[in-house]
Each structure stands twice: as C-alpha cells, then as structure tokens.
Structure 1
Amino acid sequence: MKRIAVLGFALESNAFAPPCGRADFEQRGTYRGAEIDREARAEHPAIYSGISGFYAEMDRRYGRSGWQPVPVVHAASQPAGPVEEDYFKGLLAEFEAGLAAAGPLDGVYIAEHGGATATHTHDPDGEVFALVRRAVGPDVPVVATLDLHANVSDVMMDSVDVLVGYRTNPHVDIFERGAEAARLLEELMAGVRPTAFRVRLPLVGPSVTLLTADGHPYGDLIRLGQSKLDDRVMNVTILAGFAFADTPKNGMTVIVTTRDDPALAKRLAVELAAAGWADRGRYVPRMIGLDDAVTQALAAGADPMSPSLLFADPADNPGGGGRGNTTYILSAFLAAGVHGCIAGVFFDPALVEQAFAAGEGNGFRADLNTRETARFSDPLSWDARVVHLHDGRFVGRHGMVEGKSVDLGRTAVLALDGVTLVAISKRQQCLSSDFFEAFGIDVAGARSIVVKSRGHFRAGFQHLFPPERIREVDVPGLTSPNLANFDWQGLPRPVFPLDPDAAWAPPS
C-alpha cells in the first residue's frame, strides 16, 4: 500500500495589496487531516481542485484500499498581499509536525500556487518545498502542482522532483493537473529518474495578455510545449509568473522534465524559451478607455437589438490581490445614465449590512467603501433599492466553479437606477454567470455586464459572450495591466514589455 502525504499552501501575493493572515486563509479554506480526505472526494468540493484530481486518479489506479493518503494541512487564501510572517511560520510548523508524525512515506503531493510572498521573504513557497524535502529525505518522490502565475526559485526547483503547471488560463484544468501529478508520482515510485532544466525569460506579460485560447501567444507557446511530450519527455511546464509579486524570481519560466535525459531537457527548454522570446511583441495589452466604455454601454442600453457587451475591470481583480471595490466604472456608468447593466461582484461587507438592515423591497442611501482604506477604493453614495438578500452560497454550473461549492458570504442585490449591483461579504472575483444567476438575475437579458475579474470570467461567460463582445477597460487599480503604473522594487529589470529594449540570449 502506497502511503502518500498531501499538503499545500496556496496564495498569490500582490506586493501593492495589504498583507494577509490567518483570517484570510480560514475564510477561503484551511483543511486539516481527515477534512482533506472528505473534501477531496465530496460531490461538490470547496477544496483546491488539484487535490480532488489527485485523489480521483489515485483511487482509479490503486482503488481506495490500495493507497493510503496521509493528509496534513492545505491552506488557501484569496489573492492578497504578502502573508504575515507569524501565521506562515505557524503553518510551516504544522507541516513539519504532520510529516514527522506520518511515519514512512512513499511519496508526497504538494498542492501549491507558487505565486506567494511573505512579509519576511519573497520565497515562502520555496520554504514549504525545502521543509518537505528535509522532512522526507532525498529519496522519497515529491511532486507539486503550480498555478500558471507561479514564480519559481532555485529552492523550489531543487526541492521537488517534478513541477506540474496548469495549461489553461482561465484555469479550467486544475483537476486534470492534480490527476497528472498522481500519474507522474506513480512513475517516480516505480523508479523513473526525472531530470529537469529551467530557463527564465525577461518577459513579464501583463495579465490580460496571458490567455491560452487559440490565437493568444501564451496559449500558442504552451501548445508548442505539449507537442514535445513523448516517451522521454514526461512534463513541459511554462509559467508566465505573477508580475505583482514584484520579486527577483519574476519572469516567464520554461521547465522541461525528462525521464533521465538531462541533455534533452536542456535542449527543449532553450528551444521553447527562444520561441516565446521571439513572440514577445504580442504581450502588449490592448484595452479601451473609460469614456469609450461608457459610450458603448449607453449604446447597448439604448438599442435592445444590438449585441450585449461584457466589460471587464482587470485593474481591480480580486483574483490578483485587488480589493474588488473600486468605483471608477460604476460611478461613470451611473453618472451617464447607463441602463440594463448588471455589475459585480462588489466586495463591501458594510454595504451588505446596510442592505440587510433596510430589507428586501426597501430603498436606502447606499454608501460604498465606508470601511475601506486601500488605495483606489474610493467612496460612492447613491440611492438604492434592495432587490434580493441571500446567504451567498451556491453550486456553480459554469467555468472554473462548475460543480464547486461557492460561498460569497451574505450577499445583497441592489438596484441603483439603471445598474443592478451584486454586493458580497467575502472578497473574490466574478468567475461566471452563476455569480449573478444564483441570485435570480437574468444575465442573458442584460444589455451590459461589468465584472471584477481579469480573465478567469471568460470560461464562466463563454456560453453568453464570445471574445468579440468582451471589453477590457483601462482604469486604475491594484492589478492594472499597465505595468508602468507601479513602483517596482524587486522585479528584475529590464523586462519586456515594461522595458521595450530588454534583451535575452539563450544559455550556452
């Protein structure tokens, strides 16, 4: 019987956002011991999907009685600022104690994000990986899954046998990558020797340029990488990284892992990196201004026969550390008299409290951002009517939340003249039409929609909005795709496209 430890730490850290700690991880999801087993195999799990995929594949290959999971702790937060040192060190202590108590292990699966920083270090993910390696020794196979926005350090590479990155953005393959990690771990336990080579490019693509659908440069590069898989090549992972972590390890990273063929790993990694660098000119964002967004929303509202439009606010993406409550688009649409618009999800627990106090069907003066102190989260007051109140829990049907349990906290649907606003109590991005439909809102009948999301929404709205009806709006925020807006401290310079003259040459 194979005994496999399961653990992980999932955080994407924005250096310009407030730090996060225990409350953030408890709210998003911290699972210990048997809780991990139960959630991984639940019909509608809330836990990280990679763990569910790993369990499902191990169950399929070995049967539930043929392997023994040794679940330790998995802690995940919504993207935020750096993790607080005291909380993180406490989590490390839990990992260490759990592995020490586990006894002999045949393997370890680390369900990580890879884009974290901490108040004391730019590489907390490396600290997790190094701790695991120290705890289990040099001979126990260790595999880890990583988000496409992971920033990979030398410590991360040296501590883990195989790093498995997602292949899709929006990330609709997390379950599958967990299953892949299980298959690769089985190979390692059977004696296969992995050999990996990594190349980092001075390429930090703005978030809106990192989609993986056909016609997008990042997707084209990932597909090229997958075409190299064969009996010798066990994994090709190409990580765009997360710019806002602002660390020395930023930069698009190509990792090729072979079955005991280090020369091939190096040759392919350099080949793929060169292809990515040659295509760098496509990693330049193209957004519309706020005035144009207002004009187009007004036109859509005035002509019911015209195609409806979806406006994304990538600069205030909670999925990248944004607060999910800037009012630039909302206030402009209200001031202009836009009608037939739905907007969300807007993170403002105080506003939700106001709505619950007023009660369904009643009007009140909605005061937005009364408790918010973060940069860009300006206040706004507007007359509102409470359309619907809800506990915020539902099971998703589309995109990244399909089949998943979702909890937005207490939720209020508010009518602000021609804009219907969904206000929530637990900060997260708008991932799909479920985030409106769960509260009785007719998304298909809306003339325009505004979502607080960078790109993951595309998977959850693709049944309603093809790419040609989506607009990314250039407004301020903690996750603005205009990288020149930020005071970078750790980002290695020069990098493209922030520095158009950045250069790269393949390693000798």
Structure 2
Amino acid sequence: MSTPTSSRLRIGIGGMAIESSQFCPHRSAYDDFRVTRGRALLDRYTWTRPDSDPAGLVEWVPLVHAVAVPGGPVESAAYDRIKDELTGRIRETGPLDGLVYDIHGAMSVVGLDDAEADLTAAVRAATGPGTLISASMDPHGNVSRRFAEHLDLLTAHRMAPHEDAWETRERAARKLVERLVRGLGRPYRAWVQIPVLLPGEKTSTRLEPAASLYGRLASVEALDGVVDAAIWVGYAWADEARCRAAVVVTADDPELALAQAGSLARAYWDARRDFVFAGPTGDADTCIARAVASSARPFLISDSGDNPTAGGAGDLAYMLGRLLADEDLSSGRVTALHPGITDPEAVAVCCAAGVSAEVTLSVGGRFSAGTGPHAAPYVLTGTVTAVDEPAGPDSGAPGGSPAHDGGGRSAAVTCGGVTVVLTERRKPFHTRADFGVLDPLAYDLVVVKIGYLEPELYEMAADWLLALTPGGVDQDLLRLGHHRVRRPLYPFDDEGFEEPELHPVLL
C-alpha cells in the first residue's frame, strides 16, 4: 500500500472482550456487555482525538465494541448478536485500510471450541484480505494458530496487574498507522505455543521470572527489523486445546522473528517451575487466623477461587462462612469487610427493609447452587448497615470498566464483626471508589474476591494473603478437572515430560 496523498486512511475500531471460565456455572448474556458505538466508542481512546493526529492522516471509523466483566461462557445468542453487528458494520462502512481489533483473547462461547478464532475469521471475511488488522490483547488470552493467522499485528499487555492496558491499545493502533502511512504492508509473524498453562496469580510481573521475561519484550521490539514482541500466559480456567502459553514476534525480517520467538519461548519453558504465587498463600481458615493474629491493619485477604474479574461467579458465600466461624470475628473483637457477594434477591430484601433493620437472609449460590458443598448458600442474620440504590442505569465511564460494573443496587449487612457487601450484579472491588460509602481502612480485615491485588488495593494493604479458596477460578488447576486441554501440558504433566519442540512458524 502506498503512502496516502489526497485521502485519509480509514481505520475501523471494534471488538468483543470477555474472559470466560468454563468451570463457572454463570452464563454471560447480552445484557452483561457494555456495547459502545459511534462517538462514544471513539471517546474510549485518547489517540482518536484530533490533537493526536495534527496532520489529519486518519479517519477513525467506529464500528462496535462489547466488553463485559469476566464470567461464565457467553450464551451463543449473545455472541451471534455481537458478531453479526460487528461484521455487518464492517461491511456497511465500506473499504477499510486498517482495523484496530480490541479484544481480550479468553472468551468462551457455548458450543464453540475457539471463540476468538471463530470471531476473527468472520471479521477477516468482512474486511477482505486488503485490510491490515491489529489486535490488542490481554496476556491471559489464548493464541491458537487458527486465530492468529487472520491477524497482521497482535500484541498484549506487558504488566500484570495490567497497568499498561490502555498503553497496549495505543501501541496496537500506532503500529498499524505507522505501517499504513509508510506503505509497509503485512509483516511476518513468528508464532509458537509453549506447553505450559499457569494461573495469572503465578505470573505477576511484580515477581520473577515474569518480571524478566516480560522485561525482555521492549528490547526485542527495539531490534532493527522487529515490529513487536508479545508473550501470552494463556487462560487457565478454560478447557480447550488452545489453552497454553504462546509467543509471537512480529517483524519485517522473517529469520529475526523466528530466532527471537524461539528464544523467548525457550526462556519461558525453562522458567516454568520458577513461577510462584504473587503473595503468600494458605487455605481460607489459615489465612483468616493469620490475619486476625497479625497487628498489620488493614490486612487484606484474596478470596481467589471466586474472583469475578478472572471469570468466577462471584456468588459464593464460602468465605463469609469461614469468617463467621472465627470466634474473634463473630464476636466483634476483630472486624472484617467482605465485598461483594452477588445476590440480587438478598439485596432486594435489604433495600426493602432499610438501614438498621434486622434481616435473615439466605446468601449466595444464585449461579453456583448444586455445584458442590462450597456453593451452598449461607444463612445470615444481621443488621442492614448501608444500602446503595443508584438513581439511574449503570454506566461505564469512557475508557473505563464494563457495563454494570457499578453492580446495580447493593447492601451491607453486619453480623458480629463481619460486614458483607451484597451486590445486585457481579462487580469487582478494585479501587477505593468501588467500596462506596464504606471505608475499607476502618476495618481490621478486608476480604475481597480477587486474585493478586490491583494497584489501589496493593497500596492499601498493610499485609495480605492469597487464600486458595474453591470456585470457578480455583488456583489449584489439578482439582478442577480439565480433560480437553492438549497434553502433555505443565503442570498437569511434569515428571518424565519430554523436552518440547519449541519451533516457531511463520504466519
């Protein structure tokens, strides 16, 4: 493609992003997605503003973007509806020079084995072969060959927690524009999968070996002839052949791409046993006992097995039961704040009763009931200490979180020293603002449904523990029951595992 002279580049923006645990009984419906179009879609990104393109080289074409809080697999009707709108808008808008493809990479859809490959094939069919597609992804996505072969550029975040998520999207857009403006066409992509599948909580870039592995990527990208370098951890809570780590090095020099991809893949494989959890761990009772005995305040505990931002249902009352089984907490000698269990029925009762009312509730298990003893509802008697009833519909701020991340209505109920936050919709608690009127610093313990701590929680914590609790995103992968992943695969197979052939191929 030649450098444009009289006409601007037409670059579309669109995608579909969700992380879906196939071990989670929740199903993600259309209403779980925040669907953005038109000017609102362009406003998600800083680099679509006129002052970011003073030469007026690009006409950004908003298509449709759908993003949801992680959860269970997407209902097929919801997936088809979003896919049809995305591909339909691509066809309706006319020829595109490029497409910024904003996805996650760990979407599961009921009835599909490789949802991103299916979606991307449809997108490629809609754009035609002449459009350069640049994908921005999460490193916890899966990169199958079926998926990657439809893309021209693909990159992923280089930090976990993902403090560089918006920087990654900008990099995907910038690399695309650079190639189109310079008329460089399609680069080579050296792709290789690595037979390792680890939970994100073991691959935080705060620690080695992930810090060094991901730290290499910028230097690889800086090599003459290289366009981008990326490592994907894969998504551990899906059960598909594509679920494993991967490396892609994108370059104009094919031999350089192959050499660098092979080197990164070998380093990842060699370090597989060195990955450790992002913090000290224990079962629920051990973590609670250690937190109660500690003088560090607030002491944070991650209820990691039911983490809704990794794909957990967010409705398990298991940790609530363990907190109230502790005598210091049940008596009120020690206080704890435990957000947020998804239970719309319990929230409705609390809102009707009002603040200061005594209530008896059956809490939890709204999605997960019947999936095991850890999913049983907990009968809670306590006092409603706060209610939050938003005046309008939930909304996600531009550039922010998915639809309904406000959780709809919520209520806090206190029993002994434990205050539990019940939410109408599945909701993460990552920032101080997520806690609303409740001050997490006023409690001895804060027990959040999360894995590794997001930055604001990390700064808040005087100390913390990662509780290895049960749920749809159980950190103990071996007890989940994977049976469709491609074997051998570490850590499912270890002793006697033959050295894999880590030979990248050019796409």
TM-score, length basis structure 1: 0.88
Matched, 1:495 2:489: yes
Equivalent positions of 1:391-470 (< 5 A) are 391=389, 406-436=405-435, 438-439=436-437, 441-455=438-452, 457-465=453-461, 469-470=463-464
Q: Give 5+ residue unaligned stretches, structure 1.
A: 42-50
Residue in structure 1 matched with residue 5 of structure 2 by the alignment? none
Please point out which of 279, 293, 303 is paired with 1:313.
303
- The structure-2 alpha-carbon separation of the partners of 1:187 and 1:401, relative to structure 1 and needing over 3 Å to count, comes to closer
What pairs up with 1:80-479 in 2 under 5 angstroms? 80-190=71-181, 191-192=183-184, 193-213=186-206, 215-230=207-222, 231-258=224-251, 260-285=252-277, 287-300=281-294, 306-337=296-327, 338=329, 339-369=334-364, 371-374=366-369, 375=371, 376-391=374-389, 406-436=405-435, 438-439=436-437, 441-455=438-452, 457-465=453-461, 469-479=463-473
Structure 1 residue identity aligned to 2:242: K
Matched, 1:12 2:19: yes
SS at the partner of 2:216?
A: helix
| Residues 131/188 of structure 1: CA separation in 2 closer, same or farther (3 Å cut) | farther
- In the alignment, the residues of structure 2 paired with residue 294 and residue 106 of structure 1 have an alpha-carbon distance, to the nearest angstrom, of 56
Q: SS where residue 506 of structure 1 aligns?
A: coil
What displacement does 1:445 show?
A: 2.8
CA–CA separation in structure 2 for the residues paired with 1:87 and 1:402: 19
Contact 1:347–1:424 (CA under 8 A) maintained in structure 2: yes
Distance 1:5 1:395, change over 3 A: closer
State the alpha-carbon separation in 2 of the partners of residues 26 and 257 from structure 1: 36
State the 1:372 CA deviation.
4.0
* Deviating more after overlay: 372-381 vs 489-498: 372-381
For residues 54 and 133 of structure 1, what CA distance do their matches in structure 2 show? Answer: 24
Q: Distance in 1 between matches of 2:401 and 2:313?
A: 24
**Kept after mapping to 2: 8 A contact 1:113/1:147:** yes
How far off its partner does 1:66 sit? 5.1
d(CA) in 1 for partners of 2:111 and 2:401?
Answer: 37
- 1:388/1:6 Cα in 2 relative to 1: closer, same or farther (>3 Å)? same
Q: 1:241: Cα distance to partner?
A: 0.8
Q: Could you say which structure has the greater relative contact order, defined with CA pairs below 8 angstroms and 6 or more residues apart?
A: 2
| CA distance in structure 2 between the aligned counterparts of 1:31 and 1:85, rounded to whole angstroms | 20
Whether the aligned pair in 1 keeps the contact of 2:313 and 2:367 (CA below 8 Å) is no
Partner AA of 2:444 in structure 1: R
- Deviation for aligned residue 1:5: 1.3
Per the alignment, in what secondary structure is the counterpart of residue 462 of structure 1? helix
Distance 1:18 1:325 in 2: 10
Compute the RMSD of aligned alpha carbons: 2.6
1:38 is aligned to 40
SS in 1 for 2:221: coil
- The alpha-carbon deviation at position 367 of structure 1 amounts to 2.0
- Superimposed CA distance per residue, residues 296-353 of structure 1 (whole angstroms, 9 cap, x where no aligned partner): 23324xxxx5443110011111112211122222112112132211111211111111
Partner Cα separation in structure 2 for residue 488 and residue 155 of structure 1? 22
Partner of 1:73: 64
The answer to whether the 8 A contact 2:22-2:237 is kept is yes
Distance 1:39-1:6 versus aligned 2 partners, 3 A rule: closer
State the identity as a percent.
Answer: 27
Count of residue pairs the alignment pairs up: 479
Q: Distance in 2 between matches of 1:356 and 1:396?
A: 23
Q: Deviations over 1:242-289 (max 9, x none)?
A: 01111111111111111x111101100110111111111123546212
1:371–1:178: structure 2 CA closer, same or farther, 3 Å change rule? Answer: closer
Specify the code of the residue in structure 1 equivalent to 2:448: V
Q: Give me the whole-angstrom Cα distance separating, in 2, the residues matched to 1:86 and 1:306.
A: 49
Shift, 1:404, TM fit: 11
Aligned-partner Cα distance in 1 for 2:403–2:409: 18
The answer on whether the counterparts of 2:190 and 2:249 sit within 8 Å (CA) in structure 1 is yes
Question: Partner residue of 1:48?
Answer: none
- Provide closer, same or farther for how the CA distance between residues 506 and 104 of structure 1 changes in structure 2, counting only shifts above 3 A: closer
Structure 1 SS opposite 2:19: coil
Distance 1:64 1:219, change over 3 A: same
Residues 1:206 and 1:38: Cα distance change in structure 2 (over 3 Å) = closer
Which string of whole-angstrom CA distances, capped at 9 and with x for unpartnered residues, describes residues 50-101 of structure 1?
x525535xx4442496532222221222222222223322322222221111
Q: Aligned equivalents of 1:361 and 1:39: distance in 2?
A: 42
For 1:447 and 1:246, locate their aligned partners in 2 and report how far apart those are by CA, in whole Å. 38
